[in-house]
Amino acid sequence: MCGITGFWTPGGLNLEDARGTVTAMADALRHRGPDDEGTWIDPEAGIALGFRRLAILDLTPTGRQPMESATGRFVIVFNGEIYNHQALRRELANLGHSFRGRSDTEVLVAALEAWGMRRTLEQCNGMFAFALWDKAERTLHLARDRAGEKPLYYGWMGQTLLFGSELKALRAHPTFQPQIDRNALALYLRRGYVPSPYSIYVGVNKLPAGTWLTLRPDCMRTDTAPTAYWSLQAVAEQGVAEPVRDDPAEVVETLHDLLSDAVKLRMEADVPLGAFLSGGIDSSTIVALMQTHSVRPVRTFTIGFRDTQHDEAHHAAAVARHLGTEHTELYLTPADALAVIPRLPVLYDEPFADTSQIPTFLVSELTRRHVTVSLSGDAGDELFGGYRRLRLGPAIWRGIEWLPLPVRRRLASLLTPPATTGNGQRAPLLGRLTRRLTGKRNLLERLRQVAEILPLESPVALYHYMMSYWKDPTVLMPDARELPIPATDPARRPDFGGNPEHTMMFLDTVAYLTDDILVKLDRASMGTSLEARVPLLDHRVIEFAWRMPLSVKLHGGKGTKWPLREVLHRYVPRALVDRPKQGFHMPIADWLRGPLRDWAESLLDERRLRDSGTFDPRPIRKKWTEHLAGTTRWDYHLWTVLMFESWVEANSPVVPAVPQPV
């Protein structure tokens, strides 16, 4: 696991200037690779590559990067792991290739030289992002793994292409112009993250998962589009069209074997290895399978909170005792969690509002004290239907779709107060209900949600609503236009014949998993110089999960993630793991009224918001006042604004001025 970066100015470079610049860009990623560093520059071609190394495989100098191919034609900087590199090494050796060391990087660059981009990428089982320079063709290739586990940003600044694992590396280049993309910011307000392929900055993109980008001196700038070598959309369409036989026992057996092999491949390391263990289905399954492949107790790690409402540590401890792992747990105080908040804007590098970023960082920090690599149970909910919304969304839709849309819109208008009258009046029905229900916060919130849901036109629109923080970002940014994403662009998602469950699982995986869950895991773990590996994202597991009949995944509506549960039940008694989903949740709503109130008030100050020119402060102040009064809770909405404003303070971007409404 490493940090990669670089830049390309096709007109050529001054060697000394380029060395200083690319070194500064790489140093910005030191947390991703504290063990070693390296640069490679061809001033005539205008290319400079930078690297920071977290040594995992082949700790000797033969594993150093940037690395040249055996013939010297190619130079690579590579972040990640190729888990099947041993099999690829044997295949390449049979073709006559000899190797200097034991690293997967050397295997990757040899495969790229022997087979080219497409075949190599299709052959690799791993998580990765890399940049490959072809000296002969003076061509730059950028590539990213299938699921998007490893990040890669790129963008043109003038005549220079910049790229790197994190935006802070691009910001270290003197030509970088940190101008906020207000349309991407609108997406952030809605989702709490900036979806791919967009970034928070104008002119900078995320390379989409499962693609590579080839850039030549005669074909540069934005007219060059990435090429897909693997598509979740194609996998999902084919899997649903050609499902495996509806035999639950056979499905579980196949899943067990695939996942067991995926875990085994991800246990190779020349440094200490462990696993996150929450005690839930996903992490417990990974740890159970790890233990079958280990001759000694697996190292497992969890954090706990004294507040039982937010604590799962005792569940993890029970699973660890049963499996016989060497378990480490750390109970944290609210002060420990609050101390992380000032670090978030630098750690996440881009506005990011998933509050579980806090405990994910804390468990990574704990784990790194003992090991360098940790396996994670992420992706089980997305692949096997673990989220409550998978049942709730279709049920809600069935409850309202029988009403004609005009009728639903009329009912919604009766429940919705006028947003622009400014006279303080409420819609008649809502006004009467509000007076009667003063103090009954939960019921008022339900009525508000009903008013928002009734006018929705499709199950996808309902999903988009359920996944939104600010339901209408233009309230804060009237000038902004939300960019297309899979939930709003039918061309970016399969049809599935109108099946809402399949559509929701696809959207969870292609968007929420890649741009929220995996971003959270990558930045939190790499922020502590820890490598996190996700066995459930082995592409063979993903492809098989999409071939499972929905009836098997949801067990006829009687449970979620049924095949994964059945794999786990081979190793852990049902009583230890069969319980309602809990997960990492922070009491942000209470903290904003308590220990975070002064910090939040300073960032949400009306004059400060107005002077910044980013948002109309009035809707923000209204929600802040209501939240403090306890009449309702707006913690998710407020947290997105707070994370953005603290990110602005830490990173000093250029915020395009927009006249505020009078």
Number of neighbouring beta carbons within 10 Å of residue 315: 20
Adjacent-strand bridge partners of 79: 129
Sign of CA dihedral 273, 130, 155, 8: positive
The two tokens of residue 504 are 């929701």
The CA distances from residue 500 to 69, 237, 392, 505, 660, in Å, are: 48, 14, 11, 9, 40
- Rounded CA separation 210/233 (Å): 11
Q: Are the beta carbons of 298 and 291 closer than 8 angstroms?
A: yes
Closest among 581, 580, 577 to 323, alpha carbons compared: 577
Question: Which residues sit opposite 68 in a β-bridge?
Answer: 75
Sign, Cα dihedral of 215, 219, 225, 229: negative
Beta-bridge mates of residue 155 = 162, 204
Burial class (CB in 10 A: 0-12, 13-18, 19+), 253: middle
Q: CA–CA separation, 171 vs 542, rounded Å?
A: 35
Contact indicator for 28, 21 with CB cutoff of 8 Å: no
Cβ atoms of 546 and 136 within 8 Å: the answer is no
Q: Is 162 in contact with 170 (CB distance < 8 Å)?
A: yes
β-strand partners of 297: none
Alpha carbon 471 to its chain centroid, in Å, reads: 21
Q: Report which of 526, 530, 527, 524 is spatially closest to residue 369, judged by C-alpha positions.
A: 530
Q: Single out the residue of 494, 537, 553, 492 nearest to residue 235, CA to CA.
A: 494
91: helix, coil or strand? helix
Could you write out the DSSP letters of every residue in 166-228?
Answer: SHHHHHTSTT---BB-HHHHHHHHHHSS--TTB-SBTTEEEPPTTEEEEEBTTB-GGGPPPEE
Residue 345 DSSP code? H
CA distance 345 to 304: 24
Give CA angle at 97 (94, 101), nearest 5°: 115
Structural tokens at position 182: 């207000």
Instruction: Tokens for 379, please give them.
Output: 């992706």
Q: Are 214 and 118 in contact (CB under 8 A)?
A: no
User: What is each CA distance from 349 to 296, 346, 483, in whole angstroms?
Assistant: 38, 5, 21
Active site residues: 2
Tokens 């990213």, located at residue: 144
The 8-class DSSP code of residue 659 comes to P
Cis, peptide link before residue 345, omega less than 30° from 0: no
Residue carrying the six token digits 């919705």: 416
CB 171 within 8 A of CB 5: no
